[in-house]
Structure 1
Protein backbone atom coordinates (compact mmCIF):
# COMPACT_ATOMS: atom_id res chain seq x y z
CA UNK A 1 0.00 0.00 0.00
CA UNK A 2 1.40 3.41 -0.97
CA UNK A 3 0.35 6.47 1.01
CA UNK A 4 0.89 9.63 -1.03
CA UNK A 5 0.76 13.27 -0.03
CA UNK A 6 -1.39 15.04 -2.61
CA UNK A 7 -2.41 18.62 -3.28
CA UNK A 8 -5.02 20.24 -5.51
CA UNK A 9 -4.65 23.43 -7.53
CA UNK A 10 -6.28 25.34 -4.63
CA UNK A 11 -3.47 24.26 -2.27
CA UNK A 12 -5.63 21.84 -0.25
CA UNK A 13 -3.34 19.05 0.95
CA UNK A 14 -4.59 15.53 1.60
CA UNK A 15 -3.46 11.94 1.74
CA UNK A 16 -4.25 9.24 -0.80
CA UNK A 17 -3.84 5.48 -0.38
CA UNK A 18 -3.11 3.40 -3.47
CA UNK A 19 -2.10 -0.18 -4.17
CA UNK A 20 0.93 1.01 -6.17
CA UNK A 21 2.35 3.97 -8.07
CA UNK A 22 0.79 2.53 -11.24
CA UNK A 23 -2.60 2.40 -9.49
CA UNK A 24 -2.27 6.08 -8.52
CA UNK A 25 -1.28 7.11 -12.06
CA UNK A 26 -4.13 5.06 -13.53
CA UNK A 27 -6.75 6.59 -11.22
CA UNK A 28 -5.34 10.08 -11.77
CA UNK A 29 -5.47 9.74 -15.57
CA UNK A 30 -9.08 8.49 -15.41
CA UNK A 31 -10.13 11.49 -13.28
CA UNK A 32 -10.90 9.36 -10.22
CA UNK A 33 -8.67 11.29 -7.80
CA UNK A 34 -10.18 14.51 -6.49
CA UNK A 35 -9.70 16.90 -3.59
CA UNK A 36 -12.01 16.09 -0.66
CA UNK A 37 -12.29 19.82 0.15
CA UNK A 38 -13.23 21.25 -3.24
CA UNK A 39 -13.56 18.31 -5.69
CA UNK A 40 -10.76 19.71 -7.87
CA UNK A 41 -9.31 17.02 -10.13
CA UNK A 42 -6.05 18.91 -10.84
CA UNK A 43 -4.01 16.87 -8.39
CA UNK A 44 -0.27 16.76 -7.94
CA UNK A 45 1.82 14.41 -5.86
CA UNK A 46 3.95 16.14 -3.24
CA UNK A 47 7.42 14.96 -2.28
CA UNK A 48 7.44 12.99 0.94
CA UNK A 49 9.93 11.19 3.11
CA UNK A 50 9.41 7.59 4.15
CA UNK A 51 7.88 7.08 7.57
CA UNK A 52 10.01 5.08 9.94
CA UNK A 53 8.18 3.29 12.72
CA UNK A 54 10.64 3.13 15.59
CA UNK A 55 8.10 1.83 18.11
CA UNK A 56 7.69 5.16 19.92
CA UNK A 57 4.33 6.85 19.57
CA UNK A 58 2.89 9.68 21.61
CA UNK A 59 -0.92 9.66 21.52
CA UNK A 60 -2.63 12.94 20.78
CA UNK A 61 -5.01 14.26 23.39
CA UNK A 62 -8.06 16.46 23.08
CA UNK A 63 -5.99 19.24 24.67
CA UNK A 64 -3.58 19.18 21.72
CA UNK A 65 -6.37 19.81 19.22
CA UNK A 66 -6.99 23.43 18.20
CA UNK A 67 -9.60 25.03 20.46
CA UNK A 68 -11.39 26.46 17.44
CA UNK A 69 -12.14 23.01 16.05
CA UNK A 70 -13.73 21.92 19.33
CA UNK A 71 -15.89 25.06 19.49
CA UNK A 72 -17.03 24.70 15.88
CA UNK A 73 -17.95 21.04 16.30
CA UNK A 74 -20.01 21.72 19.43
CA UNK A 75 -21.69 24.94 18.28
CA UNK A 76 -24.47 23.57 16.05
CA UNK A 77 -25.66 21.03 18.63
CA UNK A 78 -26.09 23.51 21.50
CA UNK A 79 -29.44 25.10 20.65
CA UNK A 80 -32.61 23.18 19.90
CA UNK A 81 -33.38 25.49 17.00
CA UNK A 82 -29.93 25.61 15.46
CA UNK A 83 -30.04 25.68 11.68
CA UNK A 84 -27.48 25.48 8.91
CA UNK A 85 -27.78 26.81 5.38
CA UNK A 86 -25.72 24.93 2.82
CA UNK A 87 -24.00 27.14 0.27
CA UNK A 88 -21.17 26.64 -2.20
CA UNK A 89 -17.57 27.61 -1.62
CA UNK A 90 -14.65 26.14 0.24
CA UNK A 91 -12.22 27.58 2.74
CA UNK A 92 -8.79 28.31 1.31
CA UNK A 93 -5.43 28.90 2.92
CA UNK A 94 -5.91 26.10 5.45
CA UNK A 95 -3.12 23.88 6.68
CA UNK A 96 -3.60 20.14 7.11
CA UNK A 97 -4.62 20.45 10.77
CA UNK A 98 -7.18 23.11 9.95
CA UNK A 99 -8.55 21.08 7.01
CA UNK A 100 -8.93 18.02 9.24
CA UNK A 101 -10.65 20.06 11.96
CA UNK A 102 -12.94 21.69 9.40
CA UNK A 103 -13.94 18.34 7.86
CA UNK A 104 -14.54 16.90 11.34
CA UNK A 105 -16.79 19.84 12.26
CA UNK A 106 -18.75 19.62 8.99
CA UNK A 107 -19.20 15.85 9.42
CA UNK A 108 -20.49 16.49 12.96
CA UNK A 109 -23.06 18.94 11.60
CA UNK A 110 -24.07 16.44 8.89
CA UNK A 111 -24.51 13.66 11.45
CA UNK A 112 -26.55 15.76 13.88
CA UNK A 113 -28.92 17.60 11.54
CA UNK A 114 -31.78 16.64 9.29
CA UNK A 115 -31.35 17.39 5.57
CA UNK A 116 -34.50 19.18 4.38
CA UNK A 117 -33.01 20.02 0.98
CA UNK A 118 -34.55 22.89 -0.94
CA UNK A 119 -37.31 23.24 1.68
CA UNK A 120 -34.80 24.79 4.11
CA UNK A 121 -36.22 28.34 4.19
CA UNK A 122 -39.80 27.06 4.56
CA UNK A 123 -38.88 24.62 7.35
CA UNK A 124 -36.77 27.22 9.20
CA UNK A 125 -39.71 29.66 9.17
CA UNK A 126 -42.19 27.01 10.31
CA UNK A 127 -39.92 26.12 13.24
CA UNK A 128 -39.30 29.78 14.10
CA UNK A 129 -43.01 30.57 14.21
CA UNK A 130 -43.87 27.43 16.22
CA UNK A 131 -45.78 25.63 13.44
CA UNK A 132 -43.52 22.57 13.76
CA UNK A 133 -41.25 21.29 16.51
CA UNK A 134 -37.79 22.92 16.55
CA UNK A 135 -34.93 20.68 15.47
CA UNK A 136 -31.51 21.06 13.87
CA UNK A 137 -31.82 21.16 10.09
CA UNK A 138 -29.65 21.80 7.05
CA UNK A 139 -30.45 22.31 3.39
CA UNK A 140 -30.12 24.63 0.43
CA UNK A 141 -31.17 28.26 0.34
CA UNK A 142 -30.31 31.09 -2.01
CA UNK A 143 -28.35 34.05 -0.69
CA UNK A 144 -31.55 36.10 -0.86
CA UNK A 145 -33.51 33.53 1.17
CA UNK A 146 -30.73 33.41 3.76
CA UNK A 147 -30.74 37.22 4.12
CA UNK A 148 -34.55 37.20 4.46
CA UNK A 149 -34.35 34.55 7.19
CA UNK A 150 -31.74 36.58 9.08
CA UNK A 151 -33.88 39.73 8.75
CA UNK A 152 -36.78 37.78 10.31
CA UNK A 153 -34.56 36.91 13.28
CA UNK A 154 -34.03 33.29 12.26
CA UNK A 155 -30.51 32.03 13.00
CA UNK A 156 -28.83 30.48 9.96
CA UNK A 157 -25.22 29.60 9.22
CA UNK A 158 -23.60 29.14 5.79
CA UNK A 159 -22.04 25.72 5.34
CA UNK A 160 -19.88 24.91 2.29
CA UNK A 161 -20.95 21.90 0.27
CA UNK A 162 -18.02 19.51 0.24
CA UNK A 163 -18.21 16.40 -1.93
CA UNK A 164 -16.15 14.26 0.44
CA UNK A 165 -18.28 14.94 3.51
CA UNK A 166 -21.27 12.69 2.81
CA UNK A 167 -19.11 9.75 1.80
CA UNK A 168 -15.97 8.13 3.04
CA UNK A 169 -12.80 9.58 1.59
CA UNK A 170 -11.39 6.24 0.35
Structure 2
Protein backbone atom coordinates (compact mmCIF):
# COMPACT_ATOMS: atom_id res chain seq x y z
CA UNK A 1 0.00 0.00 0.00
CA UNK A 2 1.18 3.52 -0.77
CA UNK A 3 -0.25 6.82 0.49
CA UNK A 4 -0.15 9.86 -1.76
CA UNK A 5 -0.68 13.50 -0.86
CA UNK A 6 -2.94 14.78 -3.65
CA UNK A 7 -4.34 18.15 -4.68
CA UNK A 8 -7.15 18.89 -7.14
CA UNK A 9 -7.22 21.70 -9.68
CA UNK A 10 -9.43 23.68 -7.25
CA UNK A 11 -6.51 23.53 -4.77
CA UNK A 12 -8.13 21.08 -2.30
CA UNK A 13 -5.47 18.96 -0.54
CA UNK A 14 -6.27 15.36 0.42
CA UNK A 15 -4.64 11.96 0.81
CA UNK A 16 -5.46 8.59 -0.71
CA UNK A 17 -4.13 5.04 -0.45
CA UNK A 18 -3.31 2.87 -3.47
CA UNK A 19 -2.05 -0.69 -3.82
CA UNK A 20 0.99 0.55 -5.76
CA UNK A 21 2.21 3.59 -7.69
CA UNK A 22 1.03 1.80 -10.84
CA UNK A 23 -2.48 1.55 -9.38
CA UNK A 24 -2.54 5.32 -8.88
CA UNK A 25 -1.30 5.95 -12.43
CA UNK A 26 -3.89 3.55 -13.90
CA UNK A 27 -6.80 4.98 -11.89
CA UNK A 28 -5.79 8.58 -12.62
CA UNK A 29 -5.49 7.85 -16.35
CA UNK A 30 -9.01 6.38 -16.34
CA UNK A 31 -10.45 9.40 -14.48
CA UNK A 32 -11.21 7.39 -11.33
CA UNK A 33 -9.27 9.57 -8.88
CA UNK A 34 -11.66 12.24 -7.63
CA UNK A 35 -11.41 15.10 -5.13
CA UNK A 36 -13.61 14.27 -2.12
CA UNK A 37 -14.41 17.96 -1.65
CA UNK A 38 -15.50 19.08 -5.12
CA UNK A 39 -15.54 15.94 -7.28
CA UNK A 40 -12.86 17.25 -9.66
CA UNK A 41 -10.93 14.65 -11.62
CA UNK A 42 -8.06 17.12 -12.18
CA UNK A 43 -5.92 15.58 -9.43
CA UNK A 44 -2.13 15.58 -9.13
CA UNK A 45 0.34 14.06 -6.70
CA UNK A 46 2.11 16.44 -4.32
CA UNK A 47 5.74 16.31 -3.25
CA UNK A 48 6.09 14.45 0.01
CA UNK A 49 8.89 12.99 2.06
CA UNK A 50 9.10 9.21 1.87
CA UNK A 51 8.49 7.25 5.05
CA UNK A 52 11.78 5.39 5.35
CA UNK A 53 12.04 2.68 7.98
CA UNK A 54 15.05 2.86 10.28
CA UNK A 55 17.78 0.22 10.31
CA UNK A 56 16.97 -1.04 13.81
CA UNK A 57 13.87 -2.98 12.96
CA UNK A 58 11.81 -3.30 9.82
CA UNK A 59 8.12 -2.49 9.92
CA UNK A 60 5.81 -5.49 10.14
CA UNK A 61 4.19 -6.55 6.88
CA UNK A 62 0.56 -5.51 6.49
CA UNK A 63 -1.91 -8.36 6.72
CA UNK A 64 -4.14 -7.53 3.74
CA UNK A 65 -6.97 -9.74 5.01
CA UNK A 66 -6.95 -7.79 8.28
CA UNK A 67 -6.88 -4.47 6.40
CA UNK A 68 -9.82 -5.56 4.25
CA UNK A 69 -11.77 -6.66 7.34
CA UNK A 70 -11.10 -3.29 9.00
CA UNK A 71 -12.18 -1.38 5.89
CA UNK A 72 -15.37 -3.42 5.54
CA UNK A 73 -16.19 -2.80 9.21
CA UNK A 74 -15.64 0.95 8.78
CA UNK A 75 -17.91 0.96 5.71
CA UNK A 76 -20.54 -1.02 7.63
CA UNK A 77 -20.41 1.52 10.50
CA UNK A 78 -20.76 4.48 8.12
CA UNK A 79 -23.73 2.90 6.38
CA UNK A 80 -25.39 1.97 9.70
CA UNK A 81 -24.96 5.53 10.98
CA UNK A 82 -26.50 7.02 7.84
CA UNK A 83 -29.42 4.57 7.83
CA UNK A 84 -30.13 5.24 11.52
CA UNK A 85 -29.80 9.03 11.44
CA UNK A 86 -30.63 10.32 7.96
CA UNK A 87 -33.97 10.51 6.13
CA UNK A 88 -34.35 8.00 3.27
CA UNK A 89 -35.77 9.77 0.20
CA UNK A 90 -35.49 6.94 -2.35
CA UNK A 91 -35.09 7.89 -5.99
CA UNK A 92 -35.94 11.55 -5.28
CA UNK A 93 -32.47 12.10 -3.78
CA UNK A 94 -31.22 14.49 -6.49
CA UNK A 95 -34.36 16.66 -6.34
CA UNK A 96 -34.37 16.72 -2.51
CA UNK A 97 -30.63 17.45 -2.23
CA UNK A 98 -30.93 20.34 -4.69
CA UNK A 99 -33.99 21.77 -2.87
CA UNK A 100 -32.19 21.61 0.49
CA UNK A 101 -29.08 23.20 -1.02
CA UNK A 102 -31.13 26.03 -2.57
CA UNK A 103 -33.06 26.60 0.68
CA UNK A 104 -36.48 25.70 -0.71
CA UNK A 105 -36.73 22.59 1.51
CA UNK A 106 -36.07 21.98 5.19
CA UNK A 107 -32.38 21.48 5.95
CA UNK A 108 -31.86 17.84 6.97
CA UNK A 109 -29.54 14.94 6.31
CA UNK A 110 -30.82 12.63 3.57
CA UNK A 111 -29.80 9.57 1.59
CA UNK A 112 -31.28 7.75 -1.36
CA UNK A 113 -30.58 6.79 -4.96
CA UNK A 114 -29.41 8.93 -7.86
CA UNK A 115 -28.22 8.16 -11.37
CA UNK A 116 -24.59 8.92 -12.30
CA UNK A 117 -25.86 11.80 -14.46
CA UNK A 118 -27.83 13.25 -11.52
CA UNK A 119 -24.78 13.01 -9.23
CA UNK A 120 -22.60 14.70 -11.86
CA UNK A 121 -25.13 17.55 -12.21
CA UNK A 122 -25.36 17.97 -8.42
CA UNK A 123 -21.58 18.18 -8.08
CA UNK A 124 -21.33 20.60 -11.02
CA UNK A 125 -23.84 22.87 -9.26
CA UNK A 126 -21.96 22.70 -5.95
CA UNK A 127 -24.50 20.51 -4.17
CA UNK A 128 -22.55 18.37 -1.68
CA UNK A 129 -23.15 14.64 -2.04
CA UNK A 130 -21.18 11.44 -1.67
CA UNK A 131 -21.73 7.78 -2.40
CA UNK A 132 -22.83 5.66 0.52
CA UNK A 133 -20.73 2.53 1.04
CA UNK A 134 -22.55 -0.50 -0.36
CA UNK A 135 -24.41 -2.76 2.01
CA UNK A 136 -21.91 -5.36 3.20
CA UNK A 137 -22.34 -8.91 2.04
CA UNK A 138 -23.46 -11.27 4.79
CA UNK A 139 -20.53 -13.71 5.17
CA UNK A 140 -23.00 -16.57 5.65
CA UNK A 141 -24.53 -15.80 2.25
CA UNK A 142 -21.27 -15.00 0.42
CA UNK A 143 -20.74 -18.51 -0.93
- TM-score bin, normalised by smaller chain: 0.3 to 0.5
The TM-score, its normalising length taken from structure 1, stands at 0.41
The TM-score, its normalising length taken from structure 2, stands at 0.48
Q: Give the helix-richer structure, 1 or 2.
A: 2
